[in-house]
A and B are shown apart, each in its own frame.
Chain A
Amino acid sequence: MNGWPQLELQPIGPLWLEIGVLLTTIGIFVYSVYATQYQPVKVRVISAFLRFLLLASGYFLLHHPTLTRQVIEPQPSRMAVLIDRSGSMGAEVEDGSSRYQKAFDVLDDLRAAGTDFDVYEFDQTVSEPLGAVPAPRRLSGNRTDFYGSLSQFLGKHSDYTSLTLLSDGHDLGRFSQMSVEDTRQWLNRLNAPPINTVLIGDQLSGPEVAIHSIDAPAFSFVRAPLTIRATIIVRNLDGFQTQAQLLDGENIIQIKDLVLDDQGFGTVEFQFYPEQQGEHLYTIHIPPHHLETNTENNSQQVLVDIGRDKISVLHISGSITWDLQGLRAMFERDPLVDLTAFYIMRTREHVQIGTDNRSIPHDEMALVPFPTEEIFDRQLFGFDVVVFQDFDAGNYFSDSYQARRLMSKIKEFVQNHHGGFVVVGGPRTAGGPSLGLTPLAEVLPLVPPNYRTPFDAETHDSTLTDQGKNHPILRLFDGDTMKFTGTMAGVRLNEGAETLLRDQGGRPLLSVMEPGSGRTLFLNTSSSWQWQRDALAAGKTGESYYDFWEQALKWVIQDPSLNQVRITTSKTAADPLKLDIEVLLRQRNYQPAATTEAVLQVTPLDNRGDPVSLTFTTDYSGRAEKTFTAERPGYYRLAFTEGPWSELSRPRTLFLGGSQDELRNLDLVPETLQRLANYTNGSFQSRVDRFEGRQLAMKTPEDKHVIETHRVKIRNWIWSLPILLLIASLEWAVRRSSQLA
């Protein structure tokens, strides 16, 4: 259809120029009328009219007048339907199906309305068209990004006359944070057609307590403060008071009172110090109110990977020896060690009288009193491992009550707080009050006798025990060159402890133990530094000394790389539901469990599916690989359920799917969809059960394609000048006929 020509004008310049030219033109016209005041009225009117015509034409031509005529061809209307396939669409609706499945029911209604449309899916990107008969697929749990998806879609497909978006309104992209103006500009830039939106999901009314959002880091460090904040919303429950619980697995870590503001929002903040490396699934739970109908949103989970930044070591030495220097040099050269050290540099026996017979005052020395309470009471749980090196601990407490209290604290640190404890026995340990009389005796692998321990200054050759042969501490240990000079005699092996090295007479030289959640090690000599000297004397580098202590430190802090059972997992962004599992099994004595059959159970933690058992057989090195594909995004627990492996391993919790954030808050967000519809002149429907497919069809405008555009610039028109000349001639002729020209 050919349209009517349209006139386009351009401004002369800035506004002041436009007004100036207009006022000048009017001024000229008024003056020209005034100048003809003595002429007859008839001539005066005609002359004024012609002069007005002339001035108006000139003013008009200054505006570059252009006539535009378009040849337009109408196009049939086309609609695209975009179905949200992000993680939150996996939530169940009333009839037990998921929101995602419900969205496909809307497609049937649209077909019934006789609308022609193409179907796409989107989360953080848009899929290819689904084909003629689309069907629900498995959700991978990716995050929703309206901004990214619509930008991608409209950049690629500009020929649709309308879009229909089926979603629950959850957005984890940029769109939710955009201002009104930014949203308008973005949609204009995309030349967005009307976007009709349909909210998929059940909107609940009535009393409601829900966790709105959780703010937690994805990664934190062992024994560093970890803060988790939760925003809780309470609707239609006046004066509601409750407490929020933070759980790690099934253990309650903290409970906080919930204080609500006038709007029904409340924030609780939990701060604590995780003690164990690995993935921790923290749950924030609000006990449901008895009037609540939906209690699912009373709990939310967050997975935090707890890593190790530094190994925090408390190193206490009772005397200043080469053995101390060796261990301190090892700590100083290891960038992972965060060392806090206290060495007893003088005792009451050491007199400070100079060669000038003057008593040396305290302020001329760089010594500080041993901070017993500070270290053993206030700061103890901040360390990963405590090392007593030839330390006669009992001599540094003010009384027996303090000794018992603080030693009990170290025992608690080991047994209940995953602490590591290393004792290097030497002459001072032997000569001081016996550790065998303290609460520490329960957690020490070697227990000194209850009397002052005899110290045997002889040098002994060491022999690896059966447990020691494969133990990771001694993996790099060269037993032939290691000699032990000076040992505490009379020590006995604690129940549950294992000896890794013994002397020719069978007396333990190195023993380890795993009391409670921690680990302890007792090296019955303070001469390990001589291994380095002996190695140097033998023409070697002496590195094996450092290797021994590095391995010992790793084992004591329960470094996962030294555990008997190791489960390693990996997944890809392309298929986040698929999990590659690698398992390394070693016997209790660290010997590889070759050709062993074991069962690893994968349990979904949302209670929406049954556990899956993965059976595998290890190779000669105790390794095996398996692949697991989850049905739906969510948190899963991997655990050995039988045999020795369940005792030797800890269950692992992990998230399968694209984005955890998608699963945290499953409440509907109609505001997102309303905004999109409003700014593009689309419609918003919030009730799937009353869905109006016909209404959407009517909202789909016809498209018009411009085939051709003709433009005529009037100033360049060949007749413009003759017409102006003709008007001027007429005006002259009128005045001439009245004998005025």
Chain B
Amino acid sequence: MDRRRFLLTGGGILTAACLPALAERSGAFQYSLLRLGDQWEERRRALVKLSFEVQKRCNIPIETTPTVINIGQIAKVNSPFFVISGGTAFKQPGQGDARAMRLVLNSGGILLFDDTSPDGDTAFYQAALTFMRKVYPELEGPFPLPRDHAVYQSYYLLKEPRGRLNKRDYLEGWTMGGRTRAFFSHNDLLGAMEADQLGSWRFNMEIGGGFRRELCFRLGINMTYYTLTLNYKKDRAFPPIIERRRRI
């Protein structure tokens, strides 16, 4: 290895080691993909694409690369928007990890379960239920979110949740104290956003095409806004305006 190659490689390694640390304290928003289950990284590029769309459309300073973490690292994450993606059952967290997840979700974090399995396969759903029962033993649910939930109007006005699949026309959520702590998407939301490095979509939509895919991005953006602004769009100034626009 010549000197130039050595310096380039060394510099690259050093930069790669420092970047996550810098990102952690930069204050920018960042999606965190949880390394859980066999299919955790099948929709990894979807979060990159979503981050890019957020950066393009929204006033949210964002890191365009999602971070990948293990369940034991959740308390150390600065931007606690966690995504668990998959279509099969996944390993349940231990008591300590469940307690850490509870603390993080209570202090503003949010968790998105995105089910990629075809209709009739409930292994991932059951695993998500067990997971949330460990995190919030006292909480019942999930329950379908009402149409006027802030997540459907936090940035774009949406009538119902979309995804690559068309299994359910609702999102489910675990809500406590007026704030939804976790969402469950049945329709492979990230599947609709998954694109390769050249920007070509990896999966075809089960129904519809470009506009339906766009609606999936809008839902992803709304979830991001909901995480950061909570029930802002339920403040007294907005419901009349939103209601009027929905009627049009």
**Chain B 16-50 interface 0/1 with A at a Cβ cutoff of 8 Å (1 = within):** 00000000011111000000000000000000000
> Are A339 and B235 also in contact (CB < 8 A) when A319-B59, A319-B61, A485-B25 are?
yes
How many angstroms between the C-alpha atoms of A148 and B44 in the bound complex?
A: 81
Name B77's closest neighbour in chain A (CB-CB).
A533
Taking CB atoms, residues of chain B closer than 8 Å to A459 are: 25
Q: Is the CB of B213 within 8 A of A355?
A: yes
Taking CB atoms, residues of chain B closer than 8 Å to A326 are: 108
A681 nearest CB across to chain B (Å): 65
> Are A350 and B228 also in contact (CB < 8 A) when A322-B27, A366-B154, A533-B78 are?
no
Taking CB atoms, residues of chain B closer than 8 Å to A324 are: 228-229
**Chain B 151-177 interface 0/1 with A at a Cβ cutoff of 8 Å (1 = within):** 001111100000000000000000001
Taking CB atoms, residues of chain A closer than 8 Å to B83 are: none
In the complex, which residues 1-41 of chain A have their Cβ closer than 8 Å to any Cβ of chain B? none
Identify the interface centre among B153, B179, B235: most chain A CB within 10 Å of its CB: B235
A400 nearest CB across to chain B (Å): 24
Q: Is the CB of B210 within 8 A of A325?
A: no
Q: Is the CB of A320 within 8 A of B210?
A: no
Interface size of B in residues (CB-CB distance below 8 Å)? 54
| CB-contact partner of A350 in B58, B100, B210, B238, under 8 A | B58
Q: Is the CB of B177 within 8 A of A333?
A: yes
How many angstroms between the C-alpha atoms of A451 and B28 in the bound complex?
A: 25
> Are A343 and B229 also in contact (CB < 8 A) when A354-B217, A356-B210 are?
yes
Taking CB atoms, residues of chain A closer than 8 Å to B104 are: 536
How many angstroms between the C-alpha atoms of A365 and B12 in the bound complex?
A: 42
Q: Is the CB of B107 within 8 A of A341?
A: no
B100 nearest CB across to chain A (Å): 8
* Interface check B97, CB cutoff 8 A: no
Binds B, one of A130-138, A505-513, A524-532, A641-649: A524-532
Name A347's closest neighbour in chain B (CB-CB).
B59
How many angstroms between the C-alpha atoms of A319 and B103 in the bound complex?
A: 26
Q: Is the CB of B56 within 8 A of A351?
A: yes
Q: Is the CB of B232 within 8 A of A365?
A: no
Q: Is the CB of B217 within 8 A of A527?
A: no
Interface size class on chain A is 35 or more
Q: Is the CB of A356 within 8 A of B213?
A: yes
Question: Between A and B, how many residue pairs show CB distances below 8 Å?
Answer: 138
B126 nearest CB across to chain A (Å): 29
Q: Is the CB of A328 within 8 A of B229?
A: yes
> Are A345 and B213 also in contact (CB < 8 A) when A325-B228, A340-B237 are?
no
Taking CB atoms, residues of chain B closer than 8 Å to A332 are: 178-179, 230-231
* Interface check A352, CB cutoff 8 A: yes
Q: Is the CB of B210 within 8 A of A345?
A: no
* Interface check A259, CB cutoff 8 A: no
* Interface check B245, CB cutoff 8 A: yes
Taking CB atoms, residues of chain A closer than 8 Å to B51 are: none
> Are A536 and B228 also in contact (CB < 8 A) when A365-B156, A366-B233 are?
no
Taking CB atoms, residues of chain B closer than 8 Å to A541 are: 103
* Interface check A344, CB cutoff 8 A: yes
Q: Is the CB of A368 within 8 A of B25?
A: no
How many angstroms between the C-alpha atoms of A325 and B153 in the bound complex?
A: 17
Taking CB atoms, residues of chain A closer than 8 Å to B78 are: 322, 530, 533
Q: Is the CB of B213 within 8 A of A537?
A: no
* Interface check A364, CB cutoff 8 A: yes
Taking CB atoms, residues of chain B closer than 8 Å to A433 are: none
A542 nearest CB across to chain B (Å): 5
In the complex, which residues 215-248 of chain B have their Cβ closer than 8 Å to any Cβ of chain A? 217-218, 225, 227-233, 235-238, 241-242, 245, 248
Known contacts A354-B218, A366-B155, A537-B75; 19 additional CB pairs below 8 A are: A319-B61, A320-B59, A322-B27, A324-B228, A328-B230, A329-B108, A345-B155, A350-B59, A355-B53, A356-B209, A356-B213, A364-B156, A365-B156, A366-B154, A457-B26, A486-B27, A527-B27, A530-B25, A532-B108
| Chain B residues at the A interface, C-beta cutoff of 8 Å | 25-29, 53, 56-61, 75-80, 100, 103-104, 107-108, 153-157, 177-179, 209-211, 213-214, 217-218, 225, 227-233, 235-238, 241-242, 245, 248
